[in-house]
Structure 1
Amino acid sequence: MTDTPHATIDAAMQAHLQTWQGKSETHSDLIAAAPLAALTATLDRSDAAPVVGTELPHLWHWLYFLPHARQSEIGPDGHPQRGGFLPPVPLPRRMWAGSRLRWNTANPLLVGQDVQRTSTIQSVKHKAGRSGELLFVQVEHRYTNPKGEALVEEQDIVYRAAAEPGAPAPMPQKPPLAGQAAWSRSVTPDPVLLFRYSALTFNGHRIHYDRDYAIREEGYTGLVVHGPLLATLLLDLLRRHRPDAQVDSFAFKAVRPTLDTHTFSVHGKPSEDGKTIELWGEDHEGWLTIQATVQLTYND
């Protein structure tokens, strides 16, 4: 089935898309050192060069198992054409809305390991709200290394209707812990940062590097900072302030697009017992852009 970007999802289409529920695929990849070194540089870190046996920082597994669609198989938005593993959703705008991850702290992913990822489509749900039609696809990824299961991730992908000229933007939210952060960091999202992260994750989505497309076709006012990059910056903030902390689980939700037109900030606040960390991002006006919760333990 070919893409029909402005089609409406009727009952027949919804039923067809839901036949993708339960679909599964498995891929293998080698946890190589080069992507870690490259992301270390991109995040302006001074870590030692990774070698075989180096533990993969949390969320850096997104550097692996990348889609390798041929150039002739790329859709107009820069993503692979739809209708393969993911269903052929006819709504044109696609966004990674959030994830929930659980690590096996006794079995981390390490440089040099061969890892398998089994991906399963858990659900396909259609909704109609004030912002128009939405379709949610939930995908589960299970990562297994030679010692067994290392990580389970539930990923939420949302598809949206095309931007309507002059449509009102959703009401922004203030962070629940605004002004209470224990740690904060400002980040300048220049096009080089966005390009480097797109290259590292082999992400062709044009909203991250094609300003004309992002503005004219998808209704943004600048380039969009990757949701996974924002999530990675949140955990990087924790890593900078609590390098001894061991993450058990992490859940994040994208709330509002972060654009390259202004500096943004990331913030964190630990609970009294130190085992829960609230993390969030704010744009230049102080509006909430991404929200996350970490559960962790500490190495003795």
Structure 2
Amino acid sequence: MTDTFTAAAVRRIRATLDLAPDPVPDTVPAHWHAMFFADIAPQSQLDPDGHPQKGDFLPPVPLPRRMFAGRRTRLLAPLPVGATATRTSTIHAVTEKQGRTGAMVFVTVRHEIAADGVALVSEDQDIVYREAVAPGAASATASPAMAPADPAWSQVVTPDPVLLFRYSAITFNGHRIHYDADYVRGEEGYPALVMNGGLTHLLLAEAAIRHGGPLRSFAAKNQKPLFCGRPATLAGDGTTGSIRLWAADDTGALAVDASAEFAA
């Protein structure tokens, strides 16, 4: 798959992050790769949840609910604005599990991104498939751990529908749990719109960069949902070397457990 790191897309990303859209820099951070290479499927080839149908690239897993579970990313070089890059993706693993919330299948996809012969990003991304929610039932989640209580730095963000919409629009993500309140309550059993996991990762990485500088690597595992309209805390335990990052919900429960390594 190819995509171009266009100035127009960079402006939209910067605005969504509350940065001045102009001037457009010559390069942007490598972790912004996640907002390119969208899975663009025709409208007639979408599942009821808004995701592209399985069976083309992703395997035809019988469980209906697809969610982003985590990533492990090596950030090799900044993205050159204006360049056309190639992403090579392979199915690295398919693992069936039986958890406290029911049957699950984890699919690990490996992405390698390069432009003009220069490697930019190497990432393993985890996608989880889960059982459907019974009508009228709440979505089951495992009992979360509490987030650490002694961060070196932290900030509170309260995602609103416009932020979720903007991120979904930039990434061409049609998953209805991020914008369709009736669907998310009636079909998925959540109390409110679900914050995009990729958006939480983006905000965590941006917070780490503000405190310690450019990143060499970033890894994150989603533990529980964050919801629109509810405050979330982004935090880290340091500003140099290898650090732990996390996002906590409004009860202090660990929602995303992450780590990062700063560039030398």
Identity of aligned residues (%): 44
**Residue in structure 1 matched with residue 143 of structure 2 by the alignment:** 171
1:166 CA drift (Å)? 5.7
The amino acid of 2:39's aligned partner reads P
1:262 CA drift (Å)? 1.1
**Residue in structure 2 matched with residue 34 of structure 1 by the alignment:** 8
Q: Secondary structure at the match of 2:122?
A: strand
Paired residue for 1:145, among 115, 129, 133?
Answer: 115
**Residue in structure 1 matched with residue 250 of structure 2 by the alignment:** 284
Q: Secondary structure at the match of 2:34?
A: helix
**Residue in structure 1 matched with residue 151 of structure 2 by the alignment:** 181
**Residue in structure 1 matched with residue 196 of structure 2 by the alignment:** 226
- CA 1:247–1:78 in structure 2 vs 1: closer, same or farther (change >3 Å)? same
2:131 pairs with 1:161? yes
Q: Secondary structure at the match of 1:295?
A: strand
Q: Secondary structure at the match of 2:263?
A: strand
**Residue in structure 2 matched with residue 253 of structure 1 by the alignment:** 221
**Residue in structure 2 matched with residue 99 of structure 1 by the alignment:** 71
The amino acid of 1:37's aligned partner reads R
CA distance in 1: counterparts of 2:175 and 2:30, whole angstroms? 23
Q: Secondary structure at the match of 2:89?
A: strand
**Mean Cα displacement is larger for which, 261-270 or 194-203?**
261-270
CA distance in 2: counterparts of 1:190 and 1:166, whole angstroms? 22
1:170 CA drift (Å)? 2.1
Deviations 1:133-189 (A, max 9, x none): 1001000000011132221000000000012426764212112xx221122111111
Q: Secondary structure at the match of 1:101?
A: strand
2:237 pairs with 1:269? yes
CA RMSD of aligned residues (A): 1.6
Superposition map of 1:40-189 within 5 A: 40-46=14-20, 48-51=22-25, 54-104=26-76, 107-164=77-134, 165=137, 169-175=141-147, 178-189=148-159
Provide TM-score, normalisation by structure 2: 0.94
- Contact 2:30/2:79 (8 A) holds in 1: no
CA distance in 1: counterparts of 2:83 and 2:263, whole angstroms? 25
- Contact 1:36/1:60 (8 A) holds in 2: no
2:210 pairs with 1:240? yes
The structure with the larger Rg is 1
- CA 1:168–1:82 in structure 2 vs 1: closer, same or farther (change >3 Å)? closer
- Contact 2:138/2:188 (8 A) holds in 1: no
**Residue in structure 2 matched with residue 297 of structure 1 by the alignment:** 263
The amino acid of 1:90's aligned partner reads P
CA distance in 2: counterparts of 1:151 and 1:169, whole angstroms? 32
In structure 2, list runs of 5 or more residues that go unmatched: none
- CA 1:152–1:168 in structure 2 vs 1: closer, same or farther (change >3 Å)? closer
Provide TM-score, normalisation by structure 1: 0.83
Q: Secondary structure at the match of 2:199?
A: helix
- Contact 1:58/1:235 (8 A) holds in 2: no
Q: Secondary structure at the match of 1:214?
A: helix
- CA 1:49–1:96 in structure 2 vs 1: closer, same or farther (change >3 Å)? same
The amino acid of 1:49's aligned partner reads P
The amino acid of 1:284's aligned partner reads D
The amino acid of 2:233's aligned partner reads S
CA distance in 1: counterparts of 2:124 and 2:140, whole angstroms? 31
- CA 1:281–1:167 in structure 2 vs 1: closer, same or farther (change >3 Å)? closer
